[in-house]
Structure 1
Amino acid sequence: MRINTGEPIPFTVVGGFLGAGKTTLVNALLRQAAGLRLAVLVNDFGSIAIDAALIESSTGDTIALTNGCICCAIGDDFAAGIEAMLRRRPTPDHILVEASGVANPGAIAQIALLDPDLTLAGVLVLADAESLPARLADPRLGDTLRRQLRAADLLVLTKTDLAPAGPVLATLRALAPQAAIVEGADLPLAIALGHHAQAGPRPSGHGVAFATVTLHPSRPLATATLRLALDALPEGVLRAKGLLCLDGRPALVQRVGRRLAITACDAPVEEALVLIGDDTVWDAAAALAALGLERR
């Protein structure tokens, strides 16, 4: 079930530990993106010093750039940020998420893989050649770095002017044999946003498998009844999205975390509600069956 009627939007995650050069790379991509509507989701604007000459307007948590790109501060709620980008008109040509320095980019990619409005282009993980060996050996940091590196489709080795690349390259190949490796953060836009995603399932790195289920109505639905049911869903249901006829009128239903929005929309081609989350989505689907929302 799709909210947008066009092709799925390519989605890229940029990860890497603190200080690896993520923000420098994102800024460089924004400067190169003339003609491409690139939507960049970041934790906060304080970490990304956007060139003032590029800024066209700024409202709340969104900055519009003169080259057609937009930058949105999302805190830790990237799912809500993605929903906001999918609702924009015109829709972005590409969505890029800059993960926080301690986040696992593989978990972000996993949820994107389950969204029919998105297609995963790849996970780019930056590795600092100077500090990586010491951080991998640090018992407080090593596990976080290994999860980040193993999630990569493309590894970008940075700061090779400060440390020899050879030993670090060997370490990266051992930790992430599936990933291509490039040196230097000065990546052309076509490479950074190209399709690098590996085929097949991806581990989230947290020991949690995400699931998705699509439900279709078998009888008319009332808005108030659906609200009560969605408010009662378990915490493990990360997102619910769909196009349904409620009280005889077409509506867009979107639930991110505990935030629920039901808004009027054009008549859907197909009525459906998609649940995304951990294994509790199956319990949620069973509960919603009482309303006539059923799997086919």
Structure 2
Amino acid sequence: MIDEILQKQLSAALSEQLKVKIHINDAKSVHGGDINQTFRIGTNEGYFFLKLNDARRYPDMFAAEYAGLEALHGARALTVPQPLAYGQSNGQSYLLMELMVKGNAVQDFWEHFAQSLAQQHRKTQPHYGYPAPNYIGTVRQYNTPYSSWPVFYAFNRLMPLVRMAYDQRIIDQGMVQQAERLCRQLPQLFPAEAPALLHGDLWSGNFMVGPDGRACVFDPAVYYGHREMDLAMARLFGGFDTRFYYAYQAAWPLSPGWQQRIGVCQLYPLLVHMLLFGGNYYNSIREVLQAY
């Protein structure tokens, strides 16, 4: 729960951010996913959202998430909750942010969502990657910069998780070899494209209808990568209306052959979910790899 020391830290952080003395009145536990403890913090200046986790296991996770939310804010495209403070207290790490209140979707919700994502994807930089490692869920995400997307995807995304799965005896040497064979084919599969600012974990559990009736995204795993990664992730678990995909294609058409690359792009989140939640994703991973 929220102890007195943490309350003081949060009050001080909010007071500094908002330039007014903040008193915390209550902390109510709310549902916020499977990874973190989450709370609605009540103060004399309204409500805020708090995440807690084990500082020893994930000492830099919330610093990375704070930076990712700031990067998405800077793109001025999709709505994201404003991050306010992060730190550690009594063995716990915390992230404090704006509390987003659910609203009612406007008529063009999906079209606007897709157009905003395309606008975000137009934010670019010279290399694929990100200034520091971060996380997708609780899985470490490596962001060493590369000028080639196939090289980045192989060395920073697929093979680290394949090796981790092998070390944990989830997959065998044959599947490792299949993954290596796929990685050798990546340069022929992906046409050259500028790095795009990605949400990185864009599934239906990581967006909501915000108070203005537009999409609000959260829990990012931000990096500069191939924009088909966000689109493939959105398709993986459902929850996105078909209008979303048509509107994105109208706003910024994907390169020819994108349909054939969906499975390859989904391989990374499938590996993440297999490591986090068990072997139920094994068959989906094997099916993708066997195609190559």
Same fold by TM (over 0.5)? no
Normalized per residue, which structure has more strand? 1
Q: TM-score, normalised by structure 2?
A: 0.29
Q: TM-score, normalised by structure 1?
A: 0.28
Normalized per residue, which structure has more helix? 2
